[in-house]
Amino acid sequence: MSADQMSVGEMLAATVPMARTLRLEFLETTPERAVVRLPDQPDFHNHVGGPHAGAMFTLAESASGAIVLAAFGGQLSRAVPLAVRAEIGYRKLAMGEVTATATLGRPVAEVIAELDGGARPEFPVHIAIQRADGAVSGEMTIVWTLRPHS
């Protein structure tokens, strides 16, 4: 399968070793929303038997990367997407599988217009991490940039 035929999730799983290691499942990837699931795996549990905080961070970061690629993949010939900073809050105990849902915090066209204007745009991606029962166990915001190629 060529890169052109791969879905964003397949591409991330093929090129990001940590996504493969955690066996992340890319359920939905569009410019509006990305949904990624971390299956319940004892190898990645913490001291209370739920997913380790690092695994949950990686899950959320992977969901944000998926939506960034879906929204800005057409800009890769002139800019590289990079995470600038992240903040995560763990709200409720997570047990079992967890799912991260990412949404863009700015309109795609607005970010591209800044890039077109010669700026290095920054934009937030908001992620909710949910347990199987729907309760939000964590929330994360990652600020990304599109760094123009030199």
Whole-structure pTM value: 0.92
Query: How does residue 1 score in pLDDT terms, banded at 50, 70 and 90?
Result: very low
Q: Look over the chain and give the mean of its residue pLDDT values, rounded to a whole number.
A: 93
DSSP 8-state class, residue 51: B
**pLDDT score recorded for residue 6:** 63
| 68 close to 22: Cβ distance less than 8 angstroms | no
| 89 close to 110: Cβ distance less than 8 angstroms | no
Give the total residue count for the chain: 150
Can you list the domains of the chain with their CATH numbers?
8-148 (3.10.129.10)
Q: What is the pLDDT of residues 55-111, one digit of tens each?
A: 999 999 999 999 999 999 999 999 999 999 999 999 999 999 999 999 999 999 999
Structural element, H or E, at residue 126: strand 122-131
Secondary structure in 3-state letters for 96-119? CCEEEEEEECCCHHHHHHHHHCCC
